[in-house]
Structure 1
Amino acid sequence: MKILVINAGSSSLKYQLLDMTSKDDLASGIVERIGEDMGTMTYKTDGKEVFEKPFPTHKEAMVEVINILTDADKGVVKDKAEIAAIGHRVVHGGETFTEPAEVDAKVIEGIKANIPLAPLHNPGNLTGIETAMELFPGVRQVAVFDTAFHQTMEPKVFTYGIPYEMYEKFGIRRYGFHGTSHKFVARETAKLLGKPLEECNIVTVHLGNGGSLAAVKNGKCYDTSMGMTPLAGIIMGTRCGDIDPAIVGVLAEKLGTDVAGVEKVLTNDSGLKGICGSNDLRDIHARIEEGDKQAELALDMACHKVRQFIGSYCFELGKVDCIVFTAGIGENDPEYRARTLSGLESFGISVNNDKNWNWDRTPSFISDDDSAVKVAIIATNEELEIANDTVAVLGL
């Protein structure tokens, strides 16, 4: 059984075709710069290839994806009819969607209704769904929401300390993101622990250019670091994370700009990039080796913030079975992990230096054998999670 996973952005379209029997990635790629004079398609079937051509709309991009999948020489399916179903990533489900949902008219209206909560993401996600429905008539489609996993948070956790009517009227509350990754990694961590997920308390640490943490209590999300938008929480590549909200007004006055102008600074020019001029950890590590104090400060600040969230979540959960790192930085940066968890032995968290620096890419513990709280690294696979959800929702 083959499932196609689509992640459509405002000007991009990522895809992956998975064999759900073997869980193998049969083909994957991304189309970028959709709507510009010349787009780029990067794809992998039997090897990575790149070509450029105009992609005026997502429809042309999707047609090219189908052409590659069914190509006589390099394609992985003889006909698009071999695709059993299509799963779509949707960034924001608001309070409308607490689970993945099969796409129908009501689901499409629900995604549209949540556009104000994710104006940069939901329209592109919706375009991907509508394009796939047009090009794959009769094929069942499922929407998988980044926010759904976090809908188990209690009101005391997701409600902000502002007038309650702001929540009632405008839906202003904590929603959280990266839910597909947190869900996948939590389940894989339970397997590693050899326990049912519903008996596990886990702190999941998703670290990439964007990053978030989740406190998973008895298998369900209890708290998460991102908020109403993906701007909140830890210090990220270009995003500021949590700051004093009054700073927005101060910057608007000092910079002579409006709220949108300040949001642009906080989203695109802050975080690691704002502190040291770079949001690439490889560059930052190289500069630290050369004695660059600003790069050192940026990394220290980022690790400090992640450490704060881990500490608060350990107290919230009471008992923690495992702290698990995932995503681009979480999986590939041993120095980041080491700085974040150093000196916590008295709290039962003891990282094994050799395991941390020599991780073999398999789901495994990097903590000492006698560490009361296990520490693990598990590679996330959001596409596989979306495919799994698609199969489950449709009962395939």
Structure 2
Amino acid sequence: MNIVIINSGSSSIKYQLINMPDNEVICSGMIDRIGLDTSNLSYITKNHRIEEVLPIANHKIGLEKIAQFLMDVTVGVIKSTSEIDAVGHRVVHGGSSFSNTVIIDEEVKIKIKQLFGLAPLHNPANLEGIAVAEAIFGHAKQVAVFDTAFHQTIPVVAHKYAVPNSLLTENKIRVYGFHGTSHKYVSENAIQYLKSNSVNKGSNIITIHLGNGCSMTAIKEGKSIDHTLGFGPMNGLIMGTRSGDIDQSVIFYLVKSLGYSLEEVETMLQKQSGMLGLTGFSDLRDIESNAEQGNKDCQLALAMNAYRIKKYIGSYTAALNGLDAIVFTAGIGENSSYIRKLVCTDMEYFGMELDDAKNEMRSKEIREINSPESKTKILVIPTNEEIEIANQVYELLLS
């Protein structure tokens, strides 16, 4: 079964064509920095590797470009769209409507659209990806895999807000959690790695997904028990353009005293805050480069970013009643030795001791970056949301 996986992030598209059930990746690639004149596009097969820098204004243009490569007469891997059996879509917010993977129909698309307000940077891009895929791969089953599904195991003590009960029972306002496909994939790989390396412990894990969007999950015995993102993918850690945690009083002050409209506040907190608001840059590579050149704003922003992560490590260790391993993943978590070092410095109380040389190594494999003396494992595990999505799509279509 040939399954195209489309993973549309707030400023990126990752994609793979996977033959199931063998998990054979026929081609893969990504587009990042969408919306900029310097978007990066990659297209990789067994015989070809293409990398381009070009302007890609939006997700629609990006997805159309990917489709052109898939069917290109020289470097393409399919001759006809009829060779594609299914398209699996990562959808960020499923709200209370979706707790499982589903085949997409008009009703599903309407519900995804109704959730735009809860994930304004993601669900519109996800729905646009579905529309483009329906037009290109007209014979394929379209399937949605929701980021929120993995976090359905978060207990009520953690997912309920301290607001009137009716807001949960009638309006379904609660912690939903996000990046679920990534946290599920890397946590399962972490547990398997720890067991295969004769580490008896492995029930208490904190997964740290760091990209343009960021989140952390406390995982006990393979299940999510707490998560930094909540009702929408906006709170918790400092992100590329999102503020993360903020005192609600600031919002009231902006509206009542400074004259901001609610729409202006939402735009600010979603698209103009985070690392962009602190530095003028939203891409961590630019921030690290400027920090190394002495930019004080960038240096402070990186320190703030790491400090927020450390706070959540402390609180989640308490919630787990112990800590066996932390896992860094996603674009920043996998590639930024700078951030990993900031996070793991002065964390001896939590049993963490970083090996600087291992931290600087690059690899596509699971790797430890802790010293032999470290009581807590520090792992870098490349996420593969696309494989996780493919597995869920395949299982659904076989059922």
| 3-state SS of paired residue (2:93) | coil
For residue 8 of structure 1, report the CA deviation from its aligned partner. Answer: 5.2
Tell me the amino acid that sits aligned with residue 351 of structure 2.
Answer: G
| 3-state SS of paired residue (1:339) | helix
Q: Which of 274, 299, 303 is residue 300 of structure 1 equivalent to?
A: 303
Look up the match of 2:389. Answer: 386
Instruction: Output one character per residue of 1:370-395: Cα deviation in whole Å (capped at 9) or x when no partner.
Output: 32211100111222221122112222
For residue 110 of structure 1, report the CA deviation from its aligned partner. Answer: 4.1
Look up the match of 1:217. Answer: 220
Instruction: Output one character per residue of 1:219-243: Cα deviation in whole Å (capped at 9) or x when no partner.
Output: 0111110111111001122221111
Contact 1:8–1:127 (Cα < 8 Å) also in 2: no
Larger deviation: 116-125 or 323-332? 116-125
CA–CA separation in structure 2 for the residues paired with 1:279 and 1:130 = 28
Instruction: Output one character per residue of 1:157-193: Cα deviation in whole Å (capped at 9) or x when no partner.
Output: 1111122222233322211111111111111112211
Q: 1:259 to 1:325 in 2, by over 3 A?
A: same
Instruction: Output one character per residue of 1:269-312: Cα deviation in whole Å (capped at 9) or x when no partner.
Output: 22222223333333433443344333222111111100000111
Q: 1:222 to 1:129 in 2, by over 3 A?
A: same
Look up the match of 1:71. Answer: 72
Provide structure 1 residue ranges, at least 5 long, that are not aligned to the other structure.
none
Look up the match of 2:243. Answer: 240
1:3-18 map, 5 Å: 3-7=3-7, 15-18=15-18
Instruction: Output one character per residue of 1:334-380: Cα deviation in whole Å (capped at 9) or x when no partner.
Output: 12111212122233222222211224332111112232211100111
Contact 1:197–1:218 (Cα < 8 Å) also in 2: no
Contact 2:10–2:212 (Cα < 8 Å) also in 1: no
Percent of pairs identical after alignment? 41
Look up the match of 1:47. Answer: 49
Contact 2:201–2:324 (Cα < 8 Å) also in 1: no
RMSD (CA atoms):
3.4
Q: 1:170 to 1:120 in 2, by over 3 A?
A: farther
CA–CA separation in structure 2 for the residues paired with 1:54 and 1:326 = 26
| 3-state SS of paired residue (1:376) | strand
Larger deviation: 71-80 or 245-254? 71-80
1:356-371 map, 5 Å: 356-371=359-374
Contact 2:323–2:350 (Cα < 8 Å) also in 1: no
Matched, 1:167 2:168: yes
| 3-state SS of paired residue (1:204) | strand
CA–CA separation in structure 1 for the residues paired with 2:13 and 2:245 = 30
| 3-state SS of paired residue (2:218) | strand
| 3-state SS of paired residue (2:170) | helix
Structure 1 stretches of 4+ moved >4 Å? 8-14, 29-34, 40-43, 49-58, 60-67, 195-199
Using structure 2 for the length normalisation, give the TM-score.
Answer: 0.86
For residue 134 of structure 1, report the CA deviation from its aligned partner. Answer: 5.0
Q: Which of 323, 332, 335 is residue 320 of structure 1 equivalent to?
A: 323
Tell me the amino acid that sits aligned with residue 172 of structure 1.
Answer: I
For residue 131 of structure 1, report the CA deviation from its aligned partner. Answer: 4.5
CA–CA separation in structure 2 for the residues paired with 1:181 and 1:308 = 21
Q: 1:140 to 1:297 in 2, by over 3 A?
A: same
For residue 78 of structure 1, report the CA deviation from its aligned partner. Answer: 2.9
Look up the match of 1:154. Answer: 155
- Aligned residue pair count: 392
Look up the match of 1:93. Answer: 94
Contact 1:213–1:225 (Cα < 8 Å) also in 2: yes
Matched, 1:250 2:253: yes
CA–CA separation in structure 2 for the residues paired with 1:292 and 1:41 = 25
Tell me the amino acid that sits aligned with residue 352 of structure 1.
Answer: D
Instruction: Output one character per residue of 1:13-52: Cα deviation in whole Å (capped at 9) or x when no partner.
Output: 6543123435325144559989xxx9x9945252325598
Matched, 1:83 2:84: yes
| 3-state SS of paired residue (1:301) | helix
Tell me the amino acid that sits aligned with residue 230 of structure 1.
Answer: P
Q: Which of 341, 344, 349 is residue 344 of structure 2 equivalent to?
A: 341
Larger deviation: 264-273 or 85-94? 264-273
Look up the match of 1:332. Answer: 335
| 3-state SS of paired residue (1:16) | strand
1:253-268 map, 5 Å: 253-268=256-271
Contact 2:240–2:275 (Cα < 8 Å) also in 1: yes
CA–CA separation in structure 1 for the residues paired with 2:309 and 2:125 = 30
Q: 1:67 to 1:348 in 2, by over 3 A?
A: closer
